[in-house]
Structure 1
Amino acid sequence: MERLGTGIGWRPEIADEIAELPGVDWVEVVAENICPGHLPPALQALRERGTTVVPHGVSLGLGGADRPDAGRLAALAERAEALGAPLVTEHIAFVRAGGPLTASPAMEAGHLLPVPRTRDALDVLCENVRIAQDALPVPLAVENIAALVDWPGEEMTEGRFLAELVERTGVRLLVDVANLHTNHVNRHEDPATALDELPVEAIAYVHVAGGIERDGVWHDTHAHPVTQPVLDVLAELCARVTPPGVLLERDEDFPAAGELIGELDAIRTVLKEAPTPRTATAAPAAATSAATTTATTDISTTGTDGTGTGPARQRLAVAQAALLSALVAGTPAPEGFDRRRLLVQSRALTAKRASVVAKVAPELPGILGAGYRDSFLDYARHRPMSAGYRQDAMDFAVHLLATDRPADPDARRELTQWWRDRAGPRPPRGPVQRLSRAVRLALHRR
Structure 2
Amino acid sequence: MREPIRLGTGIGWRPEIAEAVENMPGIDWVEAVAENVCPGHLPASLLRLRERGVTVVPHGVSLGLGGADRPDETRLTALAERAEALGSPLVTEHIAFVRAGGPLTASPQLEAGHLLPVPRTRDALHVLCENVRAAQAALPVPLAVENIAALISWPGEEMTEGQFLYDLVDRTGVRLLIDVANLHTNHVNRGEDPAKALGELPVEAIAYVHVAGGFERDGVWHDSHAHPVAQPVLDILADLASRVTPPGVLLERDENFPEPAELERELTAIRGTLEKAGATARAAGHGTPAPAGGRGVSPTAAGETGAAPAPDPGGPPAAPPTTAPASRTPDDAGSVPGGTPGTDPRAGTGSAPRQRVALAQAALLSALVAGTPAPEGFDRTRLGVQARALAAKRADVVAKVAPELPEILADGYRPAFLAYAQRRPMTGGYRRDALDFAEHLLLAGLPEGARTRRLRDWWLERSGPAPLPGHPLARLARATRRTLLRR
Query: Residues 434 and 269 from structure 1, CA distance in 2 versus in 1: closer, same or farther, beyond 3 angstroms?
Result: farther
* Cα-to-partner distance string for 1:292-349 (whole Å, 9 max, x where unaligned): 379699705358x753351000000000000000000000000000000000000000
Pick aligned residue for 2:390 from 343, 349, 366: 349
Query: Residues 298 and 325 from structure 1, CA distance in 2 versus in 1: closer, same or farther, beyond 3 angstroms?
Result: closer
Q: Which runs of 5+ in 1 are unaligned?
A: none
- How many angstroms apart in 2 are the aligned matches of 1:172 and 1:281? 19
Give the SS at the match of 2:376: coil
Query: Which residue of structure 2 aligns with residue 395 of structure 1?
Result: 436
* Cα-to-partner distance string for 1:48-68 (whole Å, 9 max, x where unaligned): 221110000000000000000
- How many angstroms apart in 1 are the aligned matches of 2:416 and 2:19? 34
**Is the CA contact 1:350–1:380 (under 8 Å) kept in the aligned structure 2?**
yes
Pick aligned residue for 1:301 from 326, 341, 347: 341
1:45 aligned onto 2:48: yes
**Is the CA contact 2:173–2:309 (under 8 Å) kept in the aligned structure 1?**
no
Query: Which residue of structure 1 aligns with residue 257 of structure 2?
Result: 254
Higher relative contact order (CA 8 A, sep 6+): 2
Q: Which moved more, 1:282-291 or 1:35-44?
A: 282-291
1:216-365 maps to which residues of 2 (within 5 A)?
216-274=219-277, 275=280, 276=282, 277-280=286-289, 292=312, 299=339, 301=341, 307-308=346-347, 310-365=351-406
**Is the CA contact 1:209–1:248 (under 8 Å) kept in the aligned structure 2?**
yes
1:419 aligned onto 2:439: no
Identity of aligned residues (%): 70
Give the SS at the match of 2:224: coil
Q: Which moved more, 1:80-89 or 1:414-423?
A: 414-423
1:165 aligned onto 2:129: no
1:36 aligned onto 2:35: no
Amino acid at match of 1:308: A
Query: Which residue of structure 1 aligns with residue 328 of structure 2?
Result: none
Q: Cα offset for 1:434?
A: 7.2
TM-score (norm 1): 0.95
Give the SS at the match of 1:37: helix
Query: Which residue of structure 2 aligns with residue 206 of structure 1?
Result: 209
Pick aligned residue for 2:86 from 83, 86, 109: 83
- How many angstroms apart in 2 are the aligned matches of 1:345 and 1:361? 24
Amino acid at match of 2:346: T
**Is the CA contact 2:96–2:118 (under 8 Å) kept in the aligned structure 1?**
yes
Query: Residues 430 and 168 from structure 1, CA distance in 2 versus in 1: closer, same or farther, beyond 3 angstroms?
Result: farther
Query: Which residue of structure 2 aligns with residue 191 of structure 1?
Result: 194
Q: Which runs of 5+ in 2 are unaligned?
A: 292-301, 318-336
Q: Cα offset for 1:281?
A: 6.4
**Is the CA contact 1:170–1:293 (under 8 Å) kept in the aligned structure 2?**
no
Query: Residues 234 and 378 from structure 1, CA distance in 2 versus in 1: closer, same or farther, beyond 3 angstroms?
Result: same
- How many angstroms apart in 2 are the aligned matches of 1:291 and 1:148? 33
Amino acid at match of 1:172: R
1:409 aligned onto 2:449: yes
Name whichever structure is richer in helix by fraction. Answer: 1
Superposed CA RMSD: 2.4
Query: Which residue of structure 1 aligns with residue 104 of structure 2?
Result: 101
* Cα-to-partner distance string for 1:97-133 (whole Å, 9 max, x where unaligned): 0000000010000000000000000000000000000
TM-score (norm 2): 0.87
Pick aligned residue for 2:30 from 27, 34, 38: 27
